[in-house]
Structure 1
Amino acid sequence: MRPLTLLDSISAVGPAEAGHVVVTGSHGGLAAARFVLAQASPPHAVIFNDAGVGKDAAGIVGLSLLQEIGVIAAACSHHSARIGEAAETLDSGVLSHLNPLARAAGLRDGMPVRAAVAALGATPLADDAPADTPRAAARPRS
């Protein structure tokens, strides 16, 4: 099992998230990816918001950059979760874009973020939480 961390902003990612599954409310663009790329030991996986994708796929370009360093990366549709809210992403997000590592891990377009987190083996918050409904292993951080 891997820890699950919720970050409203990926700018808060740090050494404590090494090996974690991170769900963030941030877009998956270049600026966001740089925070993960800067980590000596990055998270195992990061799920972003596609932020509408944008011109030249600017809202998801970070997924391919994280692929290059071995990080599973995906984005949920901006229609399914509010940008900037990690808990909303976990609760109602639906995957819209994935890097090849995410596909190899069994994630699929249209998959609820909560199911994706479970497929990645994230740890539930409470011992009594059903195995198919993971929650944040630590308090959500902004």
Structure 2
Amino acid sequence: MQKDHLLLNSITDADGTAPGRIAVSGSHGGLYAAAVASRAGLRAVVLNDAGRGLDDAGIAGVKALSDVGMAACAVDCMTAEIGSAVDMAENGMISFANEMAAGFDVAVGQTVAEALERLANAPEPSGMMDAIPEARWDEKVGAHQVLCVDSASLIKPEDAGRIIVTGSHGGLIGGDPARACKAEAFFVSYSDAGRGKNDIGLSRLPALDQRDIAAVTLDCNTCLIGSAASALTTGRISAVNKTAAALGAAIGQPLAEFLAGLS
């Protein structure tokens, strides 16, 4: 059994080296990320709690992993930057441990290093989460066709010029501006993931300004992280970049209202 752990800024970076390993991932702890972790064959995983947010969506996947016998825990977003596996491993403090992880004495308040020592003894999961379909669809909002994606990883270069609503967090993955958005979109929204350490949950916004892409984050307490449908239904804007502000986006405004009013 391998004792070393993987550092994955995004859980979608998991590859053929993942089976049987323990990962520290900068991804949020929602259901989509958890399903990716499970199906990658990881033995255990540490994710970011993304401010927990509406209905504890930021740790919903961490909880669900226990049902397939996989130890998992979440890091307090105020102690380590979402999207940075290194910061989580070096500075993160555990804010939630699922039942499987708790069985190996992983507990709230531990450092990630302490949790990893305990997770080293975690067994292979007894099952695997069902795959979550690639949720990518168009929604009519006002006069516009809006592309909805539960994960920003589903954005394609050919989505250039589109209005996009994502369920993903607004943090730069690994601090890399090139990963702010896969397409030269017209507009894109993200969850603010509790804003987090150093306001990392908003860090895609200035990076997208540099590409003249309007972008906003949504208050994680108003919509479920990992769900574009929830973002579009109840999400309220918590931060805007300069390009979005020029279009009239305002803090506190419902996302759907703003999109419907776009000319």
TM-score strictly above 0.5: yes
Contact 2:29 2:59 in 1 (8 A): yes
Contact 2:29 2:47 in 1 (8 A): yes
Instruction: Work out the CA distance in 1 between the residues paired with 2:35 and 2:84.
Output: 19
TM, length-normalised to structure 1: 0.80
Amino acid at match of 2:96: H
Match of 1:76 in 2: 75
* Residues 1-142 of structure 1 aligned to structure 2 (within 5 Å): 2-39=3-40, 42-121=41-120
Contact 1:2 1:19 in 2 (8 A): no
Match of 2:237 in 1: none
1:70-111 Cα shifts (integer Å, max 9, x gaps): 110100000100000000000000000110001001101000
- Give the CA deviation at 1:27: 0.5
Aligned length: 121
Instruction: Work out the CA distance in 2 between the residues paired with 1:17 and 1:97.
Output: 23
Percent of aligned pairs with the same residue? Answer: 35
1:16-73 Cα shifts (integer Å, max 9, x gaps): 211111001110001211212333xx21110001010010111000012211211101
Give unmatched runs, 5+ long, in structure 2. Answer: 122-173, 175-263
Amino acid at match of 2:57: A
TM, length-normalised to structure 2: 0.44
Structure 1 runs of 4+ with >6 Å offset: none
Secondary structure in 2 matching 1:23: strand
Instruction: Work out the CA distance in 1 between the residues paired with 2:94 and 2:45.
Output: 12
Amino acid at match of 1:8: N
12-21 or 43-52: which moved more? 12-21
Contact 2:28 2:47 in 1 (8 A): yes
Instruction: Work out the CA distance in 1 between the residues paired with 2:119 and 2:81.
Output: 22
Aligned-residue CA RMSD in angstroms? 1.5
Give unmatched runs, 5+ long, in structure 1. Answer: 123-141
1:111-142 Cα shifts (integer Å, max 9, x gaps): 000111122238xxxxxxxxxxxxxxxxxxx7
Instruction: Work out the CA distance in 2 between the residues paired with 1:85 and 1:31.
Output: 18
- Give the CA deviation at 1:3: 2.3
Amino acid at match of 1:46: V
Contact 2:101 2:119 in 1 (8 A): no
Match of 2:138 in 1: none
Answer with 1 or 2: which has the greater Rg.
2
